[in-house]
Structure 1
Amino acid sequence: MSTDTVHTARSFTHSMVVIHRGMRRESRLLAELIGATRPGDRRRARALTAHLSDYLLGLHNHHHGEDELIWPLLLSRVDLDADIVIRMEAQHEKVAATITRLNDLAGPWARSADAAGRDALVAALAEHRALLVEHLDDEEAHLLPLAERHLTEAEWNAQGDHFAEHTPKTKILTLLGVVLEDATPDERAEFLAGLPAPARAFWRLYGQRHHAARMRRLREDVRTSRTGAGIALLTGVGIGYVGLSYILDPTGTAQGFGLPSVPSGDAAAWLNIKGVRDLGTGLAVLTLLARGKREALGLVMLAFSTIAAGDMLTVLAHHGSKATAFGVHGATAAAVLASGLLLLRAARRR
């Protein structure tokens, strides 16, 4: 085999590394996301087990292509290195057993969303990932160099056609997204170059956006994120409005704060200072929300909850209106705190 041929085969087998990268990521994230699911949340359980099913289908078909096309060719061409191929076959059998176990556990948990089923599924995923990562590491270190020496590019390429033939067309988009998600721009371009032109165009126009939206729904608890963001939006608009009110009508606005007396004359300038503070607080919340900085916004909301809590304690300490202290300032502190916790929870899941 010429030097040029070896270089071509060597660069082409790197596609396997890209595929493996997606498998490592998804096997890890699935365990984390399922483990974080609240007992009784059947909607979340169904969504995650559907993705688990897609991941397991892609892994099974990927290994099936190697079993059918790669191992037989290598065994017919190698001698001393046959033990590497035999070891790959044995590892595939172990991984296949974990796939069967995961499929058996996923269905019941999707229907019940109970804690016991969730924990059993997470434990099975941990076992699956340990065997899978051991196999992927071994394959990249020892099998790929062997394939580079003994297979042609066309023979290696046959795996892609086999995968497409044995995978439902409705699943191809999801599995392509799993592979390309962590690929570098060069890796992504090389991978897409192997697809028919219509498939490449469909991926660029629709597929990648669809995949990104699907992953957001899975990796964030979208209901949690939206609730936290909604409270933050109301807080930002509300506190900004209060700030403007203190700037435009300081004395009138201060009547509703809950304190027994309101500054007048030159002392009323303190009310303008409060207005500027509240306006800046509202703008900070709205800016972070507009920029999509959910985790930072969550931390800021936790910090800002101390402002409303401090206002409540100030009103109570100066014998002001208890109804205003608890009903306005206390309720605001609780809502802002809840928003921060929800946003941080969603960020951790992402």
Structure 2
Amino acid sequence: MSTDTAQTALTFTRSMIVIHRGMRRESRLLAELIGATRPGDRRRARTLAAHLDDYLTGLHNHHHGEDELIWPLLLSRVDLDADIVLRMEAQHEKVAATIARLRDLAGPWARTADAAGRDALAATLTEHHAVLVEHLDDEEANLLPLAERHLTEAEWNAQGDHFVEHTPKTKILALLGVVLEDATPDERAEFLAGLPAPARAFWRLYGARHHAARMRRLREDVRTSRTGSALALLTGVGIGYVGLSYLLDPAGTAHGFGLPSAPAGDAAAWLNIKGVRDLATGLTVLTLMARGKREALGLVMLAFSTIPAGDMLTILAHHGSKATAFGVHGATAAAVLASGLLLLRAARRR
């Protein structure tokens, strides 16, 4: 029976596949994020070490529940398949050894953020990921079908109560987010259905947003993203204000643009067109920020940097104010370009 076929046939053990998916992802991402941390960045090191501690606590307690509640029951009921359960126990020991090494390395690195400690921790995480994935693949392909045949649903689900009992309440929300992040809508609904009603309501009202924000902080270069976002916010508000000014007072606003003269009479309608352009530009930036589309915002900011750059060149070509050309339009182009580059850099590190 193939792995896909076996997973399709599962009933009460299906949620384990969702849990495993989160473990695979976090063990891989933690190695990447820690390996990319700049030496000396103790704040970033502490943040990642705290998330690593949450992950290791969840993994340890998950395995402890299986060790205490699942393996003994199965060994008492299986015969020829006992080797599968014994192999699970041996794999748990290998994973536990990597967990112990990770805890030994994480504390000192969180305090110093030195390159040697970072590299050792990242290398151990890579090893941990390989050992863990080998175990999870084996468990899904061989142990879960065995459990379906020899355990009741209540016996299997007892490990969930064990996990909640032995996991600090402050970590439960973070670990639930790790599990549900890559779940399909049906998997998420099925998983949440097993929780008490107050817990489901709390997750929907607060937990999901909290987890998304926490993961953005973890997976982005936060300081780079904040600088880029701040520049984008100033751009959106500033250019939107300029657009409104051209719509409400076109003649008065045009004198500060930097050209030798401004259109008058019927030609002044061009100033309203500029107002609409600037207002739409500002609203586009603010809309993307509100939606959290940082990568799209970065690309848009790169494109929008051509607008103030073009304004600067237009003023210089028509012998306008050089101070305004460089000090206003040139500086704006540089800020918008920097915002785009910083946002895209942060998105690539996510």
**Aligned counterparts of 2:97 and 2:312: Cα–Cα separation in 1:** 60
Question: What is the identity, as a one-letter code, of the residue corresponding to 1:305?
Answer: S
**Aligned counterparts of 1:331 and 1:201: Cα–Cα separation in 2:** 48
Q: Deviations over 1:240-278 (max 9, x none)?
A: 232333445445433323344545566555444433332
Match of 1:192 in 2: 192
Question: What is the identity, as a one-letter code, of the residue corresponding to 1:21?
Answer: R
Q: Deviations over 1:319-346 (max 9, x none)?
A: 4433222211121011111221232234
1:147-166 aligned at under 5 Å gives the runs 147-166=147-166
What secondary structure sits across from 1:119 in the alignment?
helix
% same residue: 90
Q: Does 1:90 align with 2:97?
A: no
Q: Deviations over 1:286-332 (max 9, x none)?
A: 33233333221211111111221222233344444332222111210
Q: 1:300 to 1:197 in 2, by over 3 A?
A: closer
Match of 1:11 in 2: 11
Match of 1:112 in 2: 112
Q: 1:33 to 1:262 in 2, by over 3 A?
A: same
Q: Quote the offset at 1:44 in angstroms.
A: 1.9
1:271-286 aligned at under 5 Å gives the runs 271-286=271-286
Q: Which stretches in structure 2 are left out of the alignment for 5+ residues?
A: 1-8
Question: What is the identity, as a one-letter code, of the residue corresponding to 1:153?
Answer: E
Taking structure 1 as the reference length, the TM-score comes to: 0.86
Match of 2:168 in 1: 168
Q: 1:317 to 1:141 in 2, by over 3 A?
A: same
**Aligned counterparts of 2:291 and 2:212: Cα–Cα separation in 1:** 18
Report how many aligned residue pairs link the two structures. 342
Match of 1:46 in 2: 46
Q: Deviations over 1:95-122 (max 9, x none)?
A: 1122122212211221122333323322
Taking structure 2 as the reference length, the TM-score comes to: 0.86
**Aligned counterparts of 1:43 and 1:188: Cα–Cα separation in 2:** 33
Match of 1:295 in 2: 295
Q: Quote the offset at 1:167 in angstroms.
A: 1.7
**Aligned counterparts of 2:202 and 2:253: Cα–Cα separation in 1:** 56
Q: Deviations over 1:29-63 (max 9, x none)?
A: 22233234333322222111101101011111111
Q: 1:324 to 1:283 in 2, by over 3 A?
A: same
**Aligned counterparts of 1:209 and 1:30: Cα–Cα separation in 2:** 21
Q: 1:115 to 1:254 in 2, by over 3 A?
A: farther
Question: What is the identity, as a one-letter code, of the residue corresponding to 2:233?
Answer: L
**Aligned counterparts of 1:201 and 1:333: Cα–Cα separation in 2:** 46
How large is the Cα RMSD of the aligned pairs? 2.7
Q: Does 1:30 align with 2:44?
A: no
What secondary structure sits across from 1:12 in the alignment?
coil
Q: 1:27 to 1:235 in 2, by over 3 A?
A: same
Match of 2:183 in 1: 183
Q: Deviations over 1:219-257 (max 9, x none)?
A: 344444343333222212222232333445445433323
